[in-house]
Amino acid sequence: MGGSVIDRDKDKNVKPLDFRTAADIRSGLHLRDIVVDYTMGGRTVHAVRGVDLDVAPGEVVGLVGESGCGKSTLAKVICGLVEPVAGTAVYDDTPITPLKFRSRPMELRRIQMVFQNPYASLNPRRTVRSQIEEARAISPVPVPSVEELLASVELDASDADKLPHQFSGGQRQRIAIARAMATTPTLLIGDEPIASLDASLQAKTAILMKKAAARSDASLLFISHDLSIVRLIATRIVVMNKGQVVETGPTEEIWNHPREEYTKNLLDAIPVPDGLGHLPAYHGEN
Amino acid sequence: MSENTITATARGKQPVATSPKGDVPDKVVRKMTKRRFSVPAALRTPLAIIGLIVLALWVLVIIFAPLLEPHDPLDQLGTRLSAPSGDYWFGTDTLGRDIFSRVIAASRVSIPSSIVLVIFSSVIGSLIGAMAGYFGGWIDEAFMRVTDLVFAFPSTILAMVISAALGPSIQNAIIAVVLVSWPTYARLVRSLVLGLRNSEFVIVGRLLGRSSFASLFKDILPNILPHIFVLMFVDLGDCLLTLSGLSFLGLGATPPMPEWGQMVSEGVTRMTSWWLAFFPGLAIFTVVIAENFVGDAVRDWFDRSYISGNQEGR
């Protein structure tokens, strides 16, 4: 699976991180020593504790970990929605600045995000067309029409003039992906985009997102707690636990030969369709 | 994906109310949904219909007032305090002016004034509430403390004080009522904005390059406008009452301008001539009760359409 993104590159044997040295004008995403604290009722919660993360142009990275490990916070840092207390975040040589009153700098608008809750990520009072058109308007390069974008996420052209409440959760998530793609992002972030979809749609949506990113040559940072889905699309997997990166490596290596105990537990938590299931607490006893 | 698969997906995930019949094709469901919203059931209750008819009649009266007045409302006809008769349907007042003509003429003052003041107070209150809710911090603190300050006084007394300080006139009475009624809107809008400002679609808007002001006006406010409209409707009757109350106390419309509250106050001193206060009082009563009926119906309609899933995910 992991080979499909590498296929697009001239050198098939090059490791994902080395994309930066490829003949590409973009330098990708670089996070160094990112620390994020939240203060809740006088108590400080360390959400992210010194994370380094690189996403090369065109790379598909899976960021996995259980709930509360800091993956979404990291995504928010990349989008400028959360200001880190320490560390540097740079995208394509532009420092990522936190979003305040002003509008987001042009260069950083190339980073777009698809959110977890498809019921909240579309404006309920505006048609699908107007929402996608608005996204198209910020693209610096020519974009396919709204109808073509909808077709790329397997929706009808006639769906363009409907309101979000006329769609199911899975359809809404695909509209959200189409809207993100309308901006022709160079980095697409999926923040648990499949978590609220039913099992049959999860893999389908994840693959759709990967295809969409690949079509516009964008990098994809796919955040999920579900390693089995991430494995289907990512070339490299980053495992986070308690605000820190515990393991990172090519997908197949993580999947077949995890080094860290935490990663092994995550893999063991994936239910298998034999009806018995695996639970981390019973590792080795099944 | 084939069309059938999409339909099946929609069936599986859509909330019950938006596609109530699981085995009905998507297009039919959509048609049914449209039809339901074009004739809202909440507006088909007897009280709502009565309210709408009464309000419609008053609107006609306002439009055609000059044609409906049998006499000039300011004309002193000579027959003072004559009881209702064939010549003077609602009788005449202490100066011999036709009360029927004055009640009709006053509809052009009282009803538009209450609409104007509701619009002003909703705009001012909504802007203040929206800024407080969206920006938070010291802006929120400052605006909300001013709101608390206004809430700390009984609204009628405060309106009287402001009106008395500004001097009696209908414009000043409107200003006074606006100054005491905006905090309700500010509180409502602030809470709604607080609930929406971290919504994912608002964040998406920011990621697409909206400034925070643009996000507030383009993404958040359009989504809370229906709530504001409902409150405006329910508030109309109250505002008319407060405005009439100020005129009753001599702080609103000044003679000889016909205004219902002021006409009632003229009649209070002469209880034997009951028609002096009765007919303008009846006019206030019909408008306020009709506005309340319609306001309740609009609120019910709104609640139902929200509960039924038209706005889920907010």
For A26, other C-beta atoms within 10 Å of its C-beta total: 20
Nearest CA to CA, how far is A135 from chain B (Å)? 6
Question: pLDDT value at position B121?
Answer: 95
Longest dimension (CA), chain A: 56
* Tens of pLDDT, residues B180-235: 999 999 999 999 999 999 899 999 999 999 999 999 999 999 889 888 988 998 88
Structure tokens belonging to residue A165 = 């409440």
Question: pLDDT value at position A266?
Answer: 86
What residue of B is the nearest CA neighbor of A135? B208
3-state secondary structure of A88: strand
Please say whether the beta carbons of A132 and A149 come within 8 A.
yes
Under an 8 A CB cutoff, do B208 and A183 touch?
A: yes
Q: Rounded to 5, what percent of chain B is helix, strand, coil?
A: 75, 0, 25
3-state secondary structure of A77: helix
Is the per-residue pLDDT at A198 higher than 90?
no
Nearest CA to CA, how far is A101 from chain B (Å)? 5
Cα A93 to Cα A56: distance, rounded to the nearest angstrom: 12
| Chain A residues with CB-CB distance to B204 below 8 A | 113, 115, 121, 176, 179
Is the per-residue pLDDT at A206 higher than 60?
yes
Q: Please report where in the chains the tokens 């007045």 appear, as a residue.
A: B69
Domain boundaries, chain A: 3-282
Chain A CB within 8 Å of residue B137 CB: no
What residue of B is the nearest CA neighbor of A163? B310
| Chain B residues with CB-CB distance to A82 below 8 A | none
Cα A133 to Cα A114: distance, rounded to the nearest angstrom: 17
| ipTM entry | 0.83
Question: pLDDT value at position B16?
Answer: 41
| Chain B residues with CB-CB distance to A183 below 8 A | 208
Please say whether the beta carbons of A125 and A145 come within 8 A.
no
Chain B CB within 8 Å of residue A117 CB: yes
Q: What percent of chain A has pLDDT over 90?
A: 49
Nearest CA to CA, how far is B128 from chain A (Å)? 17
Helix-helix angle B260-268:B221-248, to 10 degrees: 30
Chain B CB within 8 Å of residue A10 CB: no
For B269, other C-beta atoms within 10 Å of its C-beta total: 10
CATH of B42-69+90-308, one of 3.30.2320.80, 3.30.565.10, 1.10.3720.10, 2.40.40.20: 1.10.3720.10
Find, among B159, B165, B158, the residue nearest to B177 by Cα: B159
Structure tokens belonging to residue B271 = 């209880």
Chain B CB within 8 Å of residue A85 CB: no
| Chain A residues with CB-CB distance to B223 below 8 A | 123-125
Find, among B207, B154, B233, the residue nearest to A189 by Cα: B207
Cα B277 to Cα B262: distance, rounded to the nearest angstrom: 9
Find, among B204, B198, B196, the residue nearest to A188 by Cα: B204
pLDDT tens string, chain B, 314 residues long: the values are 444 444 444 444 444 444 444 455 555 555 555 544 565 777 888 999 999 999 999 999 999 988 888 888 887 877 887 778 877 888 888 888 888 999 999 999 989 999 999 999 999 999 999 999 999 899 999 999 999 999 999 988 999 999 999 998 889 999 999 999 999 999 999 999 999 998 999 999 999 999 999 999 999 998 898 889 889 988 888 899 999 999 888 888 888 888 898 888 888 888 888 888 899 999 999 999 999 999 888 888 877 765 444 444 33
pTM of the full predicted structure? 0.76
* Tens of pLDDT, residues A24-70: 567 889 999 999 999 888 899 899 999 999 999 989 999 998 888 99
Under an 8 A CB cutoff, do B207 and A125 touch?
A: no
| DSSP label at residue B311 | T
Mutation to test the B interface, candidates A123, A163, A167, most B Cβ within 10 Å: A123
Chain A CB within 8 Å of residue B13 CB: yes
| Chain A residues with CB-CB distance to B10 below 8 A | 167-168, 171
Nearest CA to CA, how far is B306 from chain A (Å)? 11
Cα A193 to Cα B108: distance, rounded to the nearest angstrom: 57
Under an 8 A CB cutoff, do A156 and B3 touch?
A: yes
What residue of B is the nearest CA neighbor of A117? B200
Under an 8 A CB cutoff, do B207 and A117 touch?
A: no
Domain boundaries, chain B: 42-69+90-308
Cα B171 to Cα B183: distance, rounded to the nearest angstrom: 20
Q: Please report where in the chains the tokens 């969206």 appear, as a residue.
A: B134
DSSP-derived secondary structure for A140-200: SS----HHHHHHHTT--GGGGGS-GGGS-HHHHHHHHHHHHHHT--SEEEEESTTTTS-HH
DSSP-derived secondary structure for A189-241: EEESTTTTS-HHHHHHHHHHHHHHHHHTT-EEEEEES-HHHHHHH-SEEEEEE
3-state secondary structure of A135: helix
CB hemisphere CA count around A105 (13 angstroms): 11
Question: pLDDT value at position A82?
Answer: 92
Strand ranges in A20-120 using DSSP code E only, listed in sequence order: 29-40, 43-55, 60-64, 86-91, 94-95, 111-114
Judge if the upstream peptide bond of residue B168 is cis by omega within 30 degrees of 0.
no
| Chain A residues with CB-CB distance to B313 below 8 A | 117-120, 122, 124, 164-165
| Chain A residues with CB-CB distance to B1 below 8 A | 154
Cα A120 to Cα A109: distance, rounded to the nearest angstrom: 21
Characterize the bridge pairing of strands A111-114 and A94-95. unpaired
Chain B CB within 8 Å of residue A139 CB: no
Q: Please report where in the chains the tokens 């009757």 appear, as a residue.
A: B237
Under an 8 A CB cutoff, do B208 and A109 touch?
A: yes
Cα B4 to Cα B134: distance, rounded to the nearest angstrom: 43
Question: In this complex, which of B12, B219, B310 lies closest to A165 when CB atoms are compared?
Answer: B310
Please say whether the beta carbons of B188 and B194 come within 8 A.
no
| Structural fold of domain A3-282 | Rossmann fold (3.40.50)
Structure tokens belonging to residue B199 = 């919504």
Chain A CB within 8 Å of residue B207 CB: yes
Identity (one letter) of the amino acid at A231? R
* Tens of pLDDT, residues B251-286: 888 888 888 988 888 888 888 888 888 999 999 999
Question: In this complex, which of B11, B18, B208 lies closest to A138 when CB atoms are compared?
Answer: B208
Under an 8 A CB cutoff, do A119 and B199 touch?
A: no
For A244, other C-beta atoms within 10 Å of its C-beta total: 16
Find, among B255, B139, B238, the residue nearest to B193 by Cα: B139
Cα A221 to Cα A186: distance, rounded to the nearest angstrom: 11
